[in-house]
Chain A
Amino acid sequence: MAMPMDFKTYVDQACKAAEEFVNIYYETMDKRRRVLTRLYLDKATLIWNGNVVTGLEALANFFDTLPSSEFQVNMLDCQPVHEQATQAQTTVLVVTSGTVKFDGNRQRYFNQSFLLTAQSTPNNTVWKIASDCFRFQDWASS
C-alpha cells in the first residue's frame, strides 16, 4: 500500500512526536500530576501492573491515589503503527523503560508502552494517549 509520504519522513515524524511526548508526559506525571489526564483520550485505558483503569474519571482518581513520583527514563523507542491496524488513524507506538521512585516506596525499574494517536487541527497535531501499559520489572515483589 502506498504511503502518503516517504518512509523517512514518516518515521521522523513519529520519532519527534514520541520524544516530545515522553518528555511532557513524565514531567507532568512528576510535577503536575493533576493535569496528567489531559494527555489521555476520553476513552483511554491504562493497564497498570495488571490493574485496569478505563476512562478519564477513573484515570484521574487513579493518578490521585498514586504517590508523588520521580521518573527517570533510560530507554525510548517508537514505531509508526501500521494503518491496517489503526484504520487510518495515525498512531505511534512508544516504548519506554527506566526507573521510578514513588514517595514512600523504593526505587523500581519499569517498562511502559503507549499508543499515541494524532488529533490534527489546521495549526498543529496534538498527540494523545489511546492506551497505556505500565509494569514494574519486579512487579511480583513488593
Chain B
Amino acid sequence: MKAEGPAGQQYSPGDRCWYLGQGGGNGGGEKWLASGHTLREGPREFPDQLDVECGRKRARQAPSESIVQGKAGGRETVQEAVTSVPPDIKAPSALAKEVQLACWLLVESVWWLIGFGKHEREYSDGGRPPQGRKKGCSSFPGNSGKRSPHYEHGGGEPQPSHLQEDDGNVVKRDVQEDPEVRHSPCTIPGNERTVGWHSEGHMHMTVWGNRKPLEREMRENTQDGTPGSWFRVTIPYGVKYDRTWLMNSIQRHCSVPFTPVDFHFMHTGAEFFVQEASTASALMDVSNKICDEESRKIPVFVSPSAAPYSVQDKLKPEEMEQLKLTLSKRFDVSQQALDLRRLRVDPGLLGHDIDIILNQRSCMAATLQIIKKNFPELLSLNLSSNKLYQLDGLSDIIQMAPTVKILNLSKNKLKYLWELRKIKGLKLEELWLQGNPLCGTFPDQSTYVRAIREYFPKLLRLDGQELPSPVTVEVDTPYEVKPCKGSYFGSDKLKRQVLQFLQQFYLIHDYGDRQCLVGAYHHRAYFSLTIPFHPEDPAPSSLCEYFKDSRNMKKLSDPYLRVQLLKHTNRVIVHTLCVLPKTQHDLSSFVVDTWSQTETMLCFSVSGVFKEVEGSSQDCVRAFTRTFITTPASYSSLCIVNDELFVRDASPSETQSVFSIPAPTPTSSSMHTLSQEQQDIMQASSIPPEVNL
C-alpha cells in the first residue's frame, strides 16, 4: 500500500509520515502529511479510511495535544489509529473511546495549527457545519476532495507542516506564505499554554479522571500562574445536542455551580471555559455521567487553557462606556430597535481608537452585555454589514436579549445556514438573511424558506416578505373571539323607530289587552314559539305553559304538527298570545339587533328577560329572544309579518339583574282595554324610549 502526499510524494509502509486519513472515497481525496510518523497499513475500521499507526521513538515528540498513551500492550511506540473525524457523528464503537477522542482532538488541533490565522481571537472553525451524517463523506467538513478546507479563500494547496521535534512546547511550521495567515508561524494563537505535553510525554488528555497531573500542569503553567486559571471544557460530538439541554445536564451533574464562558462549537464538539481548578475537577467528574437520548454516555474533557477570548480581550471600562454611548445613539426607543450596521466604523468608536469587530468574541460579548443592561426589552437588532461569518458569539443573545423578535443578519459573510442553529432559541418573527453567501446555496425560494423555518417555525417575515402561513395552520388558529357589543341599529332613525315599536308593543302586551295587538300584525302574519330542547333532559322544566305550543323542530318531527303550530293570520296569533302567561318585560334588559333592512322590510331581534306575574309560575324569570320581521305601515309605524319567540329559563345572573331599574309602572287606568283611538295615539306619538340601550 502506498500513500500519496499532496505534492505527489509516495510513501510506503515504514516511511515516516503523518497521515491523517483520506477524504472522500477510495483512492481519492487528499491527505495530510506531516513528518514524524511511520506509515503503516492497518486494519480498516472505516471503508473510506486508512488507519495509520504512527511510531514515535521519543515521547516528547508528540506534535499535538491529543496523542494518548496507546493501549496495545507491550508496544513502546505510541499507537494511534488515526482516522479523520468519523463520518457519522454517532461515535463508532469499534475503536477504543480514548483513541477516538485522541484522533478527534488530533484533527482539531491540526486544523487549529494550520488554518486559522485569519481568524484571530475567534473560536470559529470557519463556520462549517459538521457533515457527519453524510455517508461515506470525509469528515473534513467542506472537503470536496479538491481543496484544503482550511484555506477558505481559495488559497493554495495545503502544505506539509513539519512539526519540529522540540524540547519545548513550541511548534514550528514551515508554512507557505499565505496572505491570510496573519499570525506568526511560530505560535499558536492562544494555545501556548494549552499543550502540556512537555511533561512526561503525557498529553494532558491522559489526565482524564486523574486529577493530579492537571494540577501539576497548572503549576508548570507560569503564564497564568495567578489563581483563577482558566480551563477549557470539551464535549466531543457536542454539536449533536441542544445547547441548553447540554449545559443544564452538565450543571445538574456537577457538584460545583459554574458559569460557562464563551460557549462555542468547534467542528463536531462543543467547548466552553471555566475558571478555578476546583470547578475544572468537578467538571471532569461529570464525564460519562450524562446519558443522551440514545443512552450513550457523554464524555467531558477538561484541560488547562489560556483565558477565553472574551476575557483576554475584555474591553476596558472606559471603552465599555464609549461603546455604550455609541450604542445608545443607535437605539430607537420607540421601536426598541438597535441598529448596529457597520459598527466597526462608527465614528464614536474610531474616534476613540476602539476597535469593535463583532466577529470577535470579546466584542460581541461586550455588545450583548450592554444590551442586556441598557436595552433589556430589545425587540429588533440589526447586525447587517458587519462581516459576520459565524454566530457563536451571538448565541449568547438567548440569555442576554431574549426579547429580540426581529433580527437582521443581511449582508454578512454567513456561508452556512447551520449557523442559525446557534441562535435557535430566539423566538424570531422577522429575519433578514439576504446578502449572505449562504443564500446562493439554495436551489429555490421555497427550499430556502423551508430550511429557515426548521430553525424558526414561528417566523412571519423573511427578507422583508411576509411568509405564507406554514402547513401547520391548525396550531396557529386564533383564540380570540371578537369582543361583543350591545345593540345594533344601523342608524339613529331606525333606532328610534324600533325602540318606539318595542315600547308600544310591550306596553300593550304586558299591561293592556293583548287583543289590541291584532292591529300590530299583518292579517296574514306568522307566529311561532319555541322552547329549548335538551336531549339530556327532555322533560321541560317550568316552561310547561309554553311547551304545548313549542314548535321546536329539533324535537317535533311530525309535519302535520309543524304546520299546526305555525300560527297564521293575526287573529289566530293574538288568540295564542292571550293564552300565554301574563308577563312583565324588563325593557332595560333589552338588547336589539337590527339585522336586515330593505325598502319593504325591517328585521330585528330582541333579547331580554321578563317575569311571569300570575299563575303557577308567578315570579319566575324567563329569558327570551324574539325575532320580528316588519313592513312599514302608516304613521311611520311597523306592521309585523313574522314573529318568532324563543323562551328559556333565565340564568342566575339574568334573574338577579332583572328589574334592577324600576320599570315604568303604568297607572291603573291603562290596565283597561285601550280604545282604538288610544291605540292610534300611542302608535303615532313619539314617546321617548326609556329602554336603556
Query: Hey, which bits of chain A sit against chain B, CB under 8 A?
Result: 1, 7-8, 11-12, 15, 18-19, 45, 47-52, 62, 65-68, 73-82, 84-87, 93, 95, 97, 102-105, 111, 113, 115, 130-133, 135-141
Contacts and interface: CB of A to CB of B under 8 A. Distances in A.
10 contacts: A47-B594, A50-B486, A50-B591, A65-B482, A84-B600, A85-B600, A97-B530, A103-B479, A111-B605, A133-B593
B642 A82 contact: yes
A98 B630 CA distance: 26
B428 interface: no
Interface string B647-659: 0100101000000
Contact of A48 (B482, B526, B603): B482
Nearest to B567: A79
B416 interface: no
Given A45-B596, A74-B554, A85-B641, 7 more contacts: A15-B562, A75-B533, A77-B530, A85-B631, A103-B477, A103-B479, A115-B596
Interface in B414-434: none
B553 A19 contact: yes
Interface residues of B, number: 57
Contacts of A74: 532-535, 554
Interface string B608-629: 0000000000000001010101
Top 7 A-B pairs ranked by shortest CB distance?
Answer: A50-B485, A104-B479, A49-B484, A131-B596, A82-B641, A133-B595, A85-B601
A47 B487 CA distance: 10
A19 B555 CA distance: 12
B563 A11 contact: yes
B568 interface: yes
A139 B591 contact: yes
A82 B651 contact: no
B629 A82 contact: yes
Nearest to B639: A84
A79 B644 contact: yes
B266 to A, nearest CB: 45
Contacts of B154: none
Contact of B595 (A65, A85, A132, A136): A132
Nearest to B525: A82
A91 B551 CA distance: 19
B481 A66 contact: yes
Contacts of B666: none
B568 A7 contact: yes
Contacts of A133: 593, 595-596, 605, 627
Given A68-B477, A141-B653, A95 B627 contact: yes
Given A74-B534, A133-B595, A67 B477 contact: yes
A62 B481 CA distance: 10
Contact of A137 (B488, B607, B631): B607
Contacts of A138: 651, 653
Nearest to A105: B481
Contacts of A140: 484, 486
A87 B484 contact: no
B646 A95 contact: yes
B317 interface: no
B514 interface: no
Most buried by B among A1, A18, A139: A139
B552 A67 contact: no
Interface in B519-563: 522, 524-526, 528, 530-535, 551-554, 559, 562-563
B456 to A, nearest CB: 24
B627 A93 contact: yes
B522 A82 contact: yes
A75 B532 contact: yes
A87 B600 contact: yes
A130 B526 contact: no
Nearest to A79: B526
B532 A51 contact: no
Contacts of B526: 79-80, 82
B478 interface: yes
B629 A85 contact: yes
Interface of B: 474, 477-488, 522, 524-526, 528, 530-535, 551-554, 559, 562-563, 566, 568, 591, 593-596, 598, 600-601, 603, 605, 607, 623, 625, 627, 629-631, 641-642, 644, 646, 648, 651, 653
B591 to A, nearest CB: 7
A45 B483 CA distance: 18
A68 B605 CA distance: 26
A38 B152 CA distance: 59
A93 B526 CA distance: 11
B480 A65 contact: yes
B595 A47 contact: yes
A49 B487 CA distance: 8
Contacts of B532: 74-75, 97
B569 to A, nearest CB: 11
Contacts of B601: 85-86
B595 A137 contact: no
Nearest to B526: A79
B645 to A, nearest CB: 9
A67 B595 contact: no
A49 B309 CA distance: 62
A116 B22 CA distance: 78
A43 B629 CA distance: 19
B595 A113 contact: yes
B568 A102 contact: no
Contacts of B533: 74-75
A12 B484 CA distance: 36
A67 B641 contact: no
A24 B642 CA distance: 24
Contacts of A97: 530, 532, 625, 646, 648
Contacts of B528: 77, 79
Nearest to B479: A104
Given A11-B563, A95-B646, A113-B627, A75 B595 contact: no
A99 to B, nearest CB: 10
Contacts of A137: 607, 623, 648, 651
Contact of B641 (A7, A84, A102, A113): A84
B575 to A, nearest CB: 18
Given A50-B488, A78-B553, A67 B481 contact: yes
Nearest to B627: A113
Contact of A8 (B486, B552, B563, B623): B563
Nearest to B602: A85
B485 A12 contact: no
Contacts of A141: 653
A4 B630 CA distance: 22
A9 to B, nearest CB: 10
A49 B484 CA distance: 5
Residue of A19, A95, A141 with most chain B CB atoms under a 10 A cut-off: A95
A113 B594 CA distance: 11
Given A47-B488, A75-B646, A132-B595, A1 B607 contact: no
A50 B554 contact: no
A113 B592 CA distance: 13
Nearest to A33: B477
A73 B555 CA distance: 11
B406 to A, nearest CB: 24
Contact of B559 (A15, A49, A75, A105): A15
A78 B629 CA distance: 13
B484 A50 contact: yes
Contacts of B631: 82, 84-85
A140 B693 CA distance: 13
B559 to A, nearest CB: 6
